[in-house]
Structure 1
Amino acid sequence: MQISLKAPTSPSRQKSAALVVLLTSDDLKKPCGDDALNELINRIHKRGDFEGKASQTFLLPLCDTLSAERLLLVGLGEAKLLDEKVFDKATTAMFKAIRQYKLGDAAILLNQSTLSEESQIRRLACGAETSNYQYTASLSKKPDPKLKKLVLLASANSANRKAMAQGQSIGRGINVARELGNLPGNYCTPTFLAKEAKALGRKSDKLKVSVLDEKKMRELGMGSFLSVTAGTDEPAKMIVMEYHGGKKSDKPRVLVGKGITFDSGGISIKPGAKMDEMKFDMCGAASVMGTMTAVTELELPINVVGIIAAAENLPSGRATKPGDVVTSMSGQTIEVLNTDAEGRLVLCDALTYAERFKPATVIDIATLTGACVVALGKHATGLYSNSDDFARQLIDAGERSGDRAWQMPLWDEYQNQLDSNFADIANIGGPEAGSVTAACFLARFTKNMTWAHLDIAGTAWLSAPKGATGRPVGLLMQYLLDCAN
């Protein structure tokens, strides 16, 4: 999408399919500085058609006093209550109206109240990209017309241009994660993910991509990872993306994504209802791909490593059985009590592999447990960390990006639920605190690192309307932008 900045010298003379004005309810009591526009808004308000309530929209289809073909008013509520969350909800309603009226272009007059221009621009640019996303990969029907051009009526200074670039890149990264998540399992295989990563690598000379096959994993002793892929004909892949934007001596930030491109549960097979949604079990990997896309576009001055543990989990005569014991890359043995707790089995070897990069921090992202959905629903990602300071950084990044997380306990008292008579550790800890014990399992493989685990089982996709959300790309990018600054 083409997004540009233009000084708001005379909004009423701006030619476009629609002039969009963001207004608090307080703005309706004072002139906006453009006589023609101010008169029109006053008439609409006095008629009772628009009150500036949060997320309220009103479209005037014909407005002869403006150069724009239409006028779209968007309410932000009371100025004293306006914050980023209110703004995001209002602009979501705005883009919904733009889609509804099939507008090919629009010009947006920013609000002159408590939110900075930079914040509004970044959020609008991100929202424009994400609102334009349409899944079409396996559809024969042509997509609906999209918004192709957006003019933000604001000064084109360096800070605003930077905010616009960040917003667009983050939006595109979110869309990459959504697209990969939405692809059916017979399209998006581990091999497909590896090809997508290599294609991204060819776009940037700062990004080096390598792919470990099963033979190399076997040589490295990744018995835990390989136990998951044993029942499928699709070869597993460990995808490593090394972005070098900082100094060679700078320790990298490492992102590790669970990439189970379809999860049947293996021998511990899942119920048939909603099993189709297990194509979304690679949304952790998708978020790593989306984040690396945004990082390379913005050429952030830091070092970032993205690792994707990609595999299918299917039952067959070769599949791992409940009660089998496997040896991880770390040397720890694992009793596989439930083959549907497979995400932690691929992640533990990927986390051990991540140690070789001597990381500053490590974040793993995984649709790991249904228990997290029970605990937090679809609104917050479950956050676990062996460093409270690191956890607070990520929670703050989630709040500012609107991609929120909530810290959960990672106490030693939960660890004995993973005790096994036949191995160093069991891969499940019983029915109590399932999300916590899954994180405790991963914690045993991250003792030498500053580490956080994001359980996105509730936030990575929605069942109605069905589709991937692209989370937590927004949170991850805010954290990496903070590191870059």
Structure 2
Amino acid sequence: MEWKLTREPLASLAADAIIVFHTEDRESTQGCAHEVNQALEYRISSLISEGEIRGSLGEVTILHNWGKIPSKRVLVTGLGKEDKTDLRRLKNAVAEAARKAQAVGIKQLGIDCPFYMIERYNSVDVIQAIVEGVELGSYQHHSYKSDIKKKEMEVVWLSLDELPQSVFEAGIERGQVFARATNLARFLAHEPGNYLTPDKLAEQAKQIAEKRGLSIDIFTKDRLAEHGMNGLLAVSRGSANPPRMIILSYYGAPDSKEVLGLVGKGVTFDSGGLQIKPGAKMDTMKGDMAGAAAVLGAMDAIGKLKPHCNVIAIIPACENLTGSDAYRPGDVLQTYSGKTVEVHHTDAEGRIVLADAISYAKRLGATKLVDVATLTGAVVVALGYETAGLMTNDDEWGHEVKTAARIAGERVWELPMYDEYEAYVKSEIADLKNDAGSPAGAIQGGMFLKQFAEDTPLVHLDIAGTASSGKNNGIHPKGATGSSVRTLIQLAMRFG
């Protein structure tokens, strides 16, 4: 998809379609929409007065040109109430319009940049939001059907009357980097488990490292054993596909001792182990590596943007299956940190593999940590599918991650980690246990991981609800969403 700047009004642009905006609290069109409305002999106004165009958020009405303007179609897109329109809403509205345009075969698209958004926000941020809206909203998950034919847009024209070329270029670059990193994570999380094994995930990381000039190290099974990473080794024992520990490094601030550690859960398929999950929807467990996908997507963008910061990414990759050597309830594991873990449930495997990764990130010099994981169904019960759970052992660091998420337009909500919750992870025969049943299920995961971060500031993001969408919704297509990628990129840019 190619982005181009045009100084001419959209009403005179020759394209397959143009997007103009309308808000639900206005009885008439304004700005570019008003110009197009005039050219169409007030047909948009007529539909507004008849209630067919309401301007509600995400509403898209397709009109033909009746031979009045060069563009073949006009997509009148609702932004909701004007005073509530922010960059997140703009992004989602653009995404809905772009998805509809693509569905009807639009190849060349023109887009209005609402003047009141430019007045309200930084111009680069507005352009970035529009670019993300188009590129995230029009994303199509790959298919293994033999006869599939994708409809893809080729050129998008952004109409900017007075803004400098440099502003356009900066917004386009940032929008494309953020969107394409998110789409990379979507691609990985959507891959079937037989296509994306731990070894194949490591190959994907190698490709990113080569493309972006990142350092990479990959631990195979033997090296994991040498380092005593028995948590990751135990979870992987039921699978014929051996585990990998993937380490990516970016040092953009060699003068700084501060190092951001990103840890992503990379369980490429999760059956639940011996305490196997129900069969219904087990096929979706190919996405249990969405945390790893988010970290890889973020590292791809960090390598492209080259912020002034240092970042280490650690991805423990394995499968949790039911083979003859699978780890068992009641087993006691000695993790890389030296702490022992009693296994109460084999489907609480994510926190076990993350424990080794968090400890190793600290060993490599990480001074601040964020882990991203599809860790618990309990976070879905608590927060649904719109918001990721955030837990932290450091209020200041937690606030910084929440700020990055807000700027990125991704919703997080903090759950408490009071000392009293530690009772849930105490074991009678080991240092810790990995599960204590239903109460505070999401918080249990955070409290467990906190024991391995110790005094290092940690934010735990539980994305079990946000990693996948059950339907097309704004920037999210049905399926893998790429949750947390843009938050991690923003965090790295602010970390420098």
* TM tier, smaller: over 0.9
Inter-partner Cα distance in structure 1 for 2:490 and 2:320: 32
| Aligned CA distance change for structure 1 residues 444 and 276 (closer, same or farther; 3 Å) | same
Q: Is the 8 A contact 1:57 1:94 kept in 2?
A: yes
Question: What is the rounded CA distance, in whole Å, between the counterparts of 2:458 and 2:33 in structure 1?
Answer: 53
Q: Match for residue 172 of structure 2?
A: 164
State the match for 2:429 in structure 1: 422
Q: What does residue 475 of structure 2 align with?
A: none
Check the 8 A contact 1:174/1:471 in 2, yes or no. yes
Hey, what's the Cα distance between the residues in 2 that align with 1:196 and 1:91? Answer: 30
Residue in 2 aligned with 1:181?
Answer: 189
Q: Which secondary structure does the structure 2 equivalent of 1:140 belong to?
A: coil
Partner of 1:79: 82
Q: For residue 68 of structure 1, what is the amino acid of its counterpart?
A: S
1:239 offset after TM fit, Å?
A: 0.4
**Structure 1 CA distance, aligned partners of 2:216 and 2:143?**
25
Mapped contact 2:271–2:322 kept (Cα < 8 A): yes
CA distance in 2, matches of 1:434, 1:280: 20
Q: Does residue 201 of structure 2 align to residue 193 of structure 1? A: yes
Aligned residue in 1 for 2:468:
461
Q: What is the correspondence of 1:323-338 to structure 2 with a 5 Å cutoff? A: 323-338=330-345
Give 1:472 shift.
Answer: 1.2
Tell me how far apart the structure 2 counterparts of residues 239 and 280 of structure 1 sit (CA, whole Å): 18
Letter paired with 1:186: N
Residue of structure 2 in register with 1:150 after alignment:
156
* Structure 2 CA distance for partners of 1:36 and 1:352, relative to 1, 3 Å: closer
Equivalent residue letter for 1:255: L
Tell me the amino acid that sits aligned with residue 265 of structure 2.
K
Query: What amino acid sits opposite 2:347 in the alignment?
Result: D
CA distance in 1, matches of 2:405, 2:22: 26
The answer for the alignment partner of 1:2 in structure 2 is 2
CA, structure 1 residues 35+65, in 2 after alignment: closer, same or farther (shift >3 Å)? Answer: farther
Q: CA deviation at 1:42?
A: 6.3
Correspondent of 2:482 among 470, 479, 485:
470
What corresponds to 1:113 in structure 2? Answer: 116
Q: Quick check: 1:393 aligned with 2:404?
A: no
Give distance in 1, aligned partners of 2:321 and 2:414. Answer: 32
C-alpha spacing 1:361/1:43, structure 2 compared with 1 (3 Å): same
1:278 is matched with 285
Q: Which residue of the partner structure matches residue 98 of structure 1?
A: 101
How far apart are 1:28 and its partner, in Å? 6.4
Aligned to 1:135: 141
Shift in alpha-carbon separation, 1:88–1:234, aligned structure 2, 3 A: same
> 2: CA distance between counterparts of 1:248 and 1:356?
19
The TM-score with structure 1 as length reference comes to 0.94
The corresponding residue for 1:408 is 415
Give the distance between the partners of 2:356 and 2:287, measured in 1 at CA: 21
**Cα distance change, pair 459–52 in 1 and its aligned pair in 2 (3 A):** closer
Of 57, 60, 64, the residue aligned with 1:57 is: 60
2:105 counterpart SS class: coil
**Paired residue secondary structure (1:443):** helix
State the Cα distance separating 1:363 from its structure 2 match: 0.3
Answer whether contact 2:29 2:45 (CA < 8 A) is retained.
no
SS of 2:5's equivalent?
Answer: strand
The structural deviation recorded for 1:83 is 1.8
C-alpha distance in structure 2 between counterparts of 1:78 and 1:224, whole Å = 51
* Residue of structure 2 in register with 1:483 after alignment: 495
Alignment CA distance shift 1:33-1:251 (3 Å):
closer
Specify the alignment match of 1:311 in structure 2: 318
Change over 3 Å in CA distance of 1:463–1:13 after alignment to 2: closer
Which residue does 1:45 correspond to in 2? Answer: 44
Where does the alignment leave 5 or more consecutive residues of structure 2 unmatched? 473-477
Quickly say closer, same or farther: Cα 1:247–1:162, change in 2 above 3 A. Answer: farther
1:12 matched to 2:14: no
Identity among equivalent positions (%) equals 35
Deviation at 1:470, TM superposition (A): 0.7
- Distance change (3 Å), C-alpha of 1:43 and 1:313: same
TM-superposed CA distance for 1:149, in Å, is: 1.0
**Equivalent position amino acid for 1:141 in 2:** D
Report the secondary structure of 1:48's partner residue. helix
CA 356–4 in structure 1, closer or farther in 2 if over 3 Å, else same = farther
Given residue 72 of structure 2, which amino acid in structure 1 is its aligned partner? E
218-227 vs 25-34, which deviates more? 25-34
- The equivalent of 1:448 in structure 2 is 455
Counterparts of 1:186 and 1:403 in 2: how far apart (Å)?
A: 30
Counterpart AA for 2:133: G
Deviation at 1:93, TM superposition (A): 2.3
Relative to structure 1, is the Cα distance of residues 101 and 352 closer, same or farther in structure 2, using a 3 angstrom cutoff?
A: same
Tell me how far 1:29 sits from its aligned partner: 4.3
Deviation at 1:254, TM superposition (A): 1.2
TM superposition shift of 1:110:
0.8
Shift of 1:81: 2.6
Shift of 1:200: 0.9
Q: 2:90, 2:130 within 8 Å by CA — same for their partners in 1?
A: no
Q: Quote the offset at 1:480 in angstroms.
A: 2.2
Query: Would you say 1:369 and 2:376 are equivalent positions?
Result: yes
Q: Give the letter aligned to residue 124 of structure 2.
A: E
Aligned to 2:217, the other structure's residue is in SS state strand
Report Cα offsets for 1:163-206 as digits up to 9, x if no partner: 2211111111111111111111000100000101101111122x
Closer, same or farther in 2 for the Cα pair 1:48/1:219, shift >3 Å? same
The number of residues matched between the two structures is 482
Rounded to whole Å, the distance in 1 between the matches of 2:415 and 2:279 is 30
Whole-angstrom distance in 1 between the partners of 2:359 and 2:106: 50
Contact 1:244/1:303 (<8 A) preserved: yes
* Alpha-carbon distance change, 34 to 273 in structure 1, aligned in 2, over 3 angstroms: closer
Task: Name the amino acid aligned to 1:340.
Answer: D
CA distance in 2, matches of 1:221, 1:276: 32
Alpha-carbon displacement from aligned partner over 1:360-394 (angstroms, at most 9, x marks no partner): 31100111111111111111101001111211222
Deviates more, 1:468-477 or 1:375-384: 468-477
What's the offset of the Cα at 1:251? 2.1
TM-score normalised by L of structure 2: 0.92
| Contact 1:23–1:111 under 8 Å retained in 2 | no
**Residues 455-483 of structure 1, C-alpha deviations (whole Å, 9 max, x = no match):** 11111113457621110112222222323
Q: Is the 8 A contact 2:99 2:138 kept in 1?
A: no
Instruction: Give me the whole-angstrom Cα distance separating, in 1, the residues matched to 2:32 and 2:12.
Output: 13
Larger deviation, residues 441-450 vs 90-99 = 90-99
Aligned mates of 1:35, 1:473 — CA distance in 2? 37
Are positions 1:291 and 2:298 aligned together? Answer: yes
Partner of 1:351: 358
User: 1:28, 1:45 within 8 Å by CA — same for their partners in 2?
Assistant: no
